Amino acid sequence: MELIDGKKISAEVKQEIAAEVEEIIKNGGKKPHLAAIIVGHDGASETYVAAKVKACHQVGFDSSEFRFEDTITEAELLAEIEKVNQDDSIDGLIVQLPLPKHISESKVIETIRPEKDVDGFHPMNVGKMVATLPTYLPATPAGIVELLKRYKIETSGKNCVVLGRSNIVGTPMSVLMSRKASHGDCTVTLCHSRTKNIPEITREADIIIVALGMPEFLTGDMVKTGAVVIDVGIHRIKSDKTKSGWKLIGDVNFDEVAPKCSFITPVPGGVGPMTIVSLLQNTLIASKKEIYS
């Protein structure tokens, strides 16, 4: 069993991005600039946005944060997005999800100009992804593909099972793995809450990508020997074995599953760091106007 080290790979990719930014600046260009909008005070969202801002600075990007109380109306938020759309100094914009219930996520996503949608959530960019056209790929699925590539894990012709059909991870992941492209070409099965006999399906899988948001859902008996397992879940649970009294676990029961795998991502230090790196890659692409000129 080999651990897939997302921390190490993300550090490598960040170095590559930082070198490219240096080159751009040496040639008289401007720093890529990512803006993040955060609404309310959700603890996980605060942590994710802080990590994204920190990563921007590590690679030499500019970043801006726009914070609003969760009493902001939908119309006010859409107007704030429009301001960023019009600001030529900003290359990429993300609106951290989830949003308060009175705000429509799809309206928010559709208000972001596709050329600034570095999360790759706008229907225009989702459509381009499905059509195998150049676009901003959603960060977590793109980060997983990057891990598979850098670990030279063969995907062509393999059975890939994706657990979870969210717009952010499961659905785009199933598209990327089945596309006719390098590190796609899998036969993909997408399982969700209505799927019957999930263990029977996962036992046939060469690659299992778990993005259900259910702690330790995937157990040892659900995995065949030699499988590649990618864990997208992250949950904080109480523990009397750590100093802090908390520990992070994923959607995979690591102790049971890891001994059966050829490759597996740990939690933390697997997929998480790669999500941020993909966002940086998309922001760099946006600043170079590679997709929308």
Could you tell me which residues are annotated as the binding site for NADP(+)? 164-166, 234
C-beta closer to ligand GUN: residue 1 or 50? 50
C-beta closer to ligand GUN: residue 59 or 94? 94
Is 26 one of the catalytic residues?
no
Q: How many residues would you count in the chain?
A: 293
SS3 for 67? strand
Q: Closest approach of Cβ 282 to ligand GUN, in Å?
A: 11
Q: Residue for token digits 């059509």?
A: 131
Give the angle subtended at the CA of 260 by the CAs of 259 and 265, to the nearest 5°: 75
Residue nearest to ligand GUN (CB): 97
Q: Closest approach of Cβ 285 to ligand GUN, in Å?
A: 16
Residues that bind ligand GUN in the complex, under the rule CB under 6 A: 94-97, 119, 139-140, 168
Is 128 one of the catalytic residues?
no
C-beta closer to ligand GUN: residue 98 or 134? 98
Q: Which of 5, 14, 91, 96 is catalytic?
A: 96
Query: What is the distance between the alpha carbons of residues 210 and 189, in angstroms, rounded to a whole number?
Result: 12
Query: What is the distance between the alpha carbons of residues 224 and 138, in angstroms, rounded to a whole number?
Result: 29
Tell me the three-class secondary structure of 108-153, residue by residue: HHHHCCHHHCCCCCCHHHHHHHHCCCCCCCCHHHHHHHHHHHHCCC
C-beta closer to ligand GUN: residue 96 or 174? 96
Query: What is the distance between the alpha carbons of residues 212 and 225, in angstroms, rounded to a whole number?
Result: 22
Q: Closest approach of Cβ 289 to ligand GUN, in Å?
A: 22
Query: What is the distance between the alpha carbons of residues 134 and 183, in angstroms, rounded to a whole number?
Result: 15
Q: Closest approach of Cβ 140 to ligand GUN, in Å?
A: 6
Query: What is the distance between the alpha carbons of residues 77 and 214, in angstroms, rounded to a whole number?
Result: 31
Tokens representing residue 165 in the block? 């059909």
Instruction: Give the residue numbers of the binding site.
Output: 164-166, 234
Q: Closest approach of Cβ 271 to ligand GUN, in Å?
A: 11
Query: What is the distance between the alpha carbons of residues 106 and 72, in angstroms, rounded to a whole number?
Result: 17
C-beta closer to ligand GUN: residue 172 or 266? 172
Q: Which of 5, 14, 52, 91 is catalytic?
A: 52
* Closest listed residue to residue 1, CA positions, set 229, 250, 234, 253: 229
Other C-beta atoms closer than 10 Å to the C-beta of 286 total 23
Is 15 one of the catalytic residues?
no
Q: Which of 119, 206, 231, 251 is catalytic?
A: 119
Catalytic residues: 52, 96, 119
